[in-house]
Amino acid sequence: MKTIIFACIVSVALAAPQFQDPIAITRDERVDNGDGTFSYVFEADNGITAQAAGVQGSQGQSNIEGSYSYPLSDGSGFVEVRYVADENGFRAESPFLPTPHPTPAHVIELLRIAEEQRAAGITFEK
């Protein structure tokens, strides 16, 4: 019975969350003008950074332009993502973001043929 109790105590101790050292915030600047315009800059001592600025958009929204970066897990560099969010949606740019596969040449040719047929007034019944 003592072995079972000891095993339970050990398993509870091993299952306890493992805490990391706290990460210090080295810079945190925020400005909110209350009218949809704002800016912020954030930096942590582990290399994580973020910055953005917002202005009033044409449809009542805040248009935002910003970036964020964080260190790669192997320590070889940083991932940086730049983005814009406005009337045209959210658009992010970074060499680390996945991209769609290129359209195969035969599909491009088929699309060209279909466009020529549409221009010539050719239609197909369903």
User: What pLDDT score was predicted for residue 71?
Assistant: 94
> 97 has which bridge partners?
none
Question: Cβ distance 79 to 67 under 8 Å?
Answer: no
- Please give the average per-residue pLDDT across 78-94, as a whole number: 93
- The pLDDT tens digits of the residues spanning 27-71 come to 999 999 988 899 999 999 999 999 999 999 888 888 999 999 999
82: pLDDT strictly greater than 90:
yes
User: What pLDDT score was predicted for residue 1?
Assistant: 63
Question: Cβ distance 70 to 78 under 8 Å?
Answer: yes
Which one, of 61, 67, 78, lies nearest residue 40 by Cα?
A: 67
- Please give the average per-residue pLDDT across 10-17, as a whole number: 71
- Please give the average per-residue pLDDT across 94-121, as a whole number: 91
